[in-house]
Structure 1
Amino acid sequence: MVKAVVGEETRLQLAEDRLAQSAIPAQVGLVIGKLNRKLDRGFIFDLVPTPPNDAGDPPCSIIEPFKADKKKNSKPKSSPDSSSLFVDKDWIAEHARQVSRLLVGGVKVIGIYVWVAEIVFKNSTLVLCQTVKGVADAAFSLENDFQEMLLLHISYSPRRWTCRNCSVSSNITSSSLRPCDFKMGRTLNSLQTFRCSYKFNMRIPICGENLSNAKMLKDVLHDGISLHAKELKGAKAIIDGNLVDVTAEEPCTSDDVHDVELLLPLNLSAEASNQKDIVGILIYSGTVCSYSYLNSKEPISQAVADIKEDIIMSLRSRLEIISDEADRETVAAFEDGSGTNIESFSKGSVYDIIQQPLRKQCILPFPRRVFIPWLAGTFICDYLLPTEDFEALKDHFVELLSMEAPEDLSTLLQPEKELPSLTAKSFWDVVAPSHRASDTAYTDSKSQDDVVKGESKRLTTSNFNIIFAGFILLIAIISGLLFHARNSN
Structure 2
Amino acid sequence: MGRSYFVEESIQNYLLNLSNNFNKKHVTGILIGQTSTARDFIIQAIQTPPKEEPFQNHSKKGFHLDETDEEWITEHARQVSRMMTGGLAILGVFLIVPPALSKEASNMLRRLVFAVDKSVTTGRLWKLSEEEVYDRVTVQMCSETKKVNCRTFDVKDPLSSPKPADWKYQSGVSSTWPLLQCNVEVDLRLPVIASSVEHEFNQNIMNGLKNWALKMEKCYYLINGQVRDPDKEILEVHKKNSRASAHRECFSVQLLVPLMQDDQGDYMAKVQECSKNIILKGVVHCKAYIHSNKPTVADAVRALKRDLLDTISIRYEMLFEDVFSSNEDERAKGQKIDHALPQRVFVQASISEILSCDYIFRDETFIEVKERFKEMFDCEVSEDKVDLLQEIVSVPAVCPDLEICQDHSPMILGKNVEKQKTAGVALAIGVALLALAASFFYFSD
**Alpha carbons of structure 1 residues 32 and 57: separation in structure 2 relative to 1, 3 Å:** farther
Counterpart of 2:327? Answer: 352
Counterpart of 1:28? Answer: 28
**Alpha carbons of structure 1 residues 121 and 359: separation in structure 2 relative to 1, 3 Å:** farther
Aligned-residue sequence identity (percent) comes to 22
Deviation at residue 228 of structure 1 after TM alignment: 1.3
**Alpha carbons of structure 1 residues 353 and 167: separation in structure 2 relative to 1, 3 Å:** farther
SS at match of 2:353: coil
Amino acid at match of 1:196: C
- 2:353 aligns with one of 373, 377, 397: 377
Counterpart of 1:153? Answer: 140
SS at match of 1:52: coil
Q: Which has the higher contact order (CA 8 A, sep 6+)?
A: 2
- Say which structure is richer in helix: 1
Counterpart of 1:6? Answer: 6
**Alpha carbons of structure 1 residues 112 and 322: separation in structure 2 relative to 1, 3 Å:** same
Counterpart of 1:225? Answer: 209
Counterpart of 2:185? Answer: 199
CA distance, structure 2, for counterparts of residue 51 and residue 157 of structure 1:
22
CA distance, structure 2, for counterparts of residue 430 and residue 310 of structure 1:
34
Q: Deviations over 1:311-337 (max 9, x none)?
A: 1111111122113545xxxxxxxxxxx
Counterpart of 1:292? Answer: 288
Amino acid at match of 1:306: A
Aligned pairs for 1:397-476 (under 5 A) are: 397-408=373-384, 411-416=386-391, 417-426=393-402, 428=404
SS at match of 1:124: helix
SS at match of 1:122: helix
Counterpart of 1:273? Answer: 269
Deviation at residue 361 of structure 1 after TM alignment: 2.4
Amino acid at match of 2:395: L
**Count of aligned pairs between the two proteins:** 388
Counterpart of 1:164? Answer: 151
- Give the number of the structure whose alpha-carbon radius of gyration is greater: 1
CA distance, structure 1, for counterparts of residue 333 and residue 84 of structure 2:
32
CA distance, structure 1, for counterparts of residue 32 and residue 93 of structure 2:
9
Q: Deviations over 1:272-294 (max 9, x none)?
A: 83334233332211111111112
Q: Deviations over 1:49-107 (max 9, x none)?
A: 1012243789xx9x8896xxxxxxxxxxx7xxx96564211110100111111100011
Q: Where does structure 1 lack aligned partners over 5 or more consecutive residues?
A: 67-77, 327-348, 433-489
Matched, 1:263 2:256: yes
Identify which range, 269-278 or 115-124, moves more after superposition: 269-278
**Alpha carbons of structure 1 residues 356 and 317: separation in structure 2 relative to 1, 3 Å:** farther
Amino acid at match of 2:281: S
Counterpart of 1:47? Answer: 45
Q: Deviations over 1:107-156 (max 9, x none)?
A: 12111101124562332322321111110011145434584321111223
CA distance, structure 2, for counterparts of residue 233 and residue 355 of structure 1:
35
**Alpha carbons of structure 1 residues 427 and 15: separation in structure 2 relative to 1, 3 Å:** same
Two-structure CA RMSD over aligned residues (Å): 3.4
Are 2:2 and 2:166, in contact at CA under 8 Å, matched by a contact in 1?
no
Deviation at residue 354 of structure 1 after TM alignment: 12
- 1:305 aligns with one of 302, 306, 313: 302
SS at match of 1:190: coil
Amino acid at match of 2:252: D
Are 1:206 and 1:220, in contact at CA under 8 Å, matched by a contact in 2?
yes
**Alpha carbons of structure 1 residues 192 and 216: separation in structure 2 relative to 1, 3 Å:** same
Counterpart of 1:245? Answer: 229
Deviation at residue 19 of structure 1 after TM alignment: 2.4
Counterpart of 2:414? Answer: none
CA distance, structure 2, for counterparts of residue 418 and residue 367 of structure 1:
11
- 2:75 aligns with one of 83, 89, 94: 94
CA distance, structure 1, for counterparts of residue 108 and residue 284 of structure 2:
39
Q: Deviations over 1:365-404 (max 9, x none)?
A: 1000001123333211000112222221121111111112
CA distance, structure 1, for counterparts of residue 60 and residue 298 of structure 2:
53
Counterpart of 1:137? Answer: 118
Q: Where does structure 2 lack aligned partners over 5 or more consecutive residues?
A: 239-243, 409-445
Deviation at residue 419 of structure 1 after TM alignment: 0.6
Deviation at residue 22 of structure 1 after TM alignment: 3.7
Counterpart of 2:164? Answer: 179
Matched, 1:190 2:176: yes
CA distance, structure 2, for counterparts of residue 307 and residue 243 of structure 1:
16
TM-score by length of 2: 0.77
